[in-house]
């Protein structure tokens, strides 16, 4: 358990779903409303996050570090970093979005949701079902009714890929 303090900087351990530990400065995790409350109210030193994959946690910590370094002079650089940050396969982006929602990192959540929206807006219905793992509960007749009602929504080149 890393509950030590080095100088003035408090150290906190985050434990990912696969028990991998991440030791980082407490000030970084304060960007997450959830962790901030845990740290402030409960005075915890180690926080298990079993539902977040370590891979996802690595990405989020990477963001927290970059965001903490954000100054008016490196705004452009941060924007480029943000673009790269969401440039992952959709499944991973959804994992990140879910984790960010859980951790309550508000600015990043909005950015992730917008990124998901941008990625799925031209997808076909079948692709969206696969991405969100949804089984249709409509009958084929009901589905063809939708297509008849708003044909313009189904026209054009729709993307069938799921990544």
Partner 1 sequence: MMTQKTDICNKSSREAAKIAQKANLFKGQQKKIVCAYFKGKRVMRPLKNTMQMDVDPAMGIHLAEKIIVDILSRLPVRSLLRFKCVSKFWKTLISDPYFKMKHLIHARNNQNSQKLLISQFYLGMDHSFSFYCSSLLVKDVQKLDCPLNIEQVILRIFCCYDGLSIVGVGDCSSEEFKFFLWNPSTRESIELPVPELLPRKGYCTWGLGYDLVMTIRSLRLIRKYTVKF
Residues that bind partner 1 (CB under 8 A): 1, 3, 15, 34, 38, 41-48, 50-52, 94, 97-99, 101-102, 109-110, 113-114, 116-118, 120-125, 128-129, 132-138, 142-143, 146-147, 150, 152-154, 158
Q: Please say which residue, 9 or 121, places its beta carbon nearer to partner 1.
A: 121
Rg (CA), the chain: 20
Least distance CB 139 / partner 1 (angstroms):
11
Q: How far is the CB of 30 from partner 1 (least distance, A)?
A: 17
Nearer Cβ to partner 1 (71/135): 135
Question: CB atoms < 10 A from the CB of 41, how many?
Answer: 8
Which residue lies nearer to partner 1 by CB, 50 or 74? 50
Q: Please say which residue, 28 or 38, places its beta carbon nearer to partner 1.
A: 38
- Would you say 115 and 86 are in contact if contact means Cβ atoms under 8 Å apart? yes
Q: Which two tokens stand for residue 69?
A: 């370094």
CA–CA distances in Å: residue 71 to residues 75, 79, 93, 123, 158 = 6, 12, 26, 37, 40
Provide φ and ψ at 5, rounded to 5°. -120, 135
């Amino acid at each position: 358990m890393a509950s030590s303090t080095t100088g003035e900087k408090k150290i906190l351990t985050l434990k990912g779903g696969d028990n991998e530990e991440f030791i980082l400065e407490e000030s970084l995790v304060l960007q997450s409303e959830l962790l901030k409350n845990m740290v402030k109210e409960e005075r915890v030193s180690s926080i298990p996050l079993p539902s977040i994959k370590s891979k996802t946690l690595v990405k989020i910590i990477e963001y927290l570090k970059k965001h903490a370094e954000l100054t008016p002079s490196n705004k452009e650089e941060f924007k480029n970093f943000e673009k790269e940050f969401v440039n992952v396969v959709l499944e991973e982006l959804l994992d990140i979005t879910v984790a960010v929602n859980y951790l309550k990192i508000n600015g990043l959540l909005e950015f992730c949701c917008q990124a998901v929206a941008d990625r799925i807006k031209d997808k076909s219905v079948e692709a969206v079902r696969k991405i969100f793992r949804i089984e249709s509960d409509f009958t084929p007749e009901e589905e063809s009714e939708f297509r008849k009602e708003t044909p313009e929504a189904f026209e054009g080149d729709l993307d069938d890929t799921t990544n």
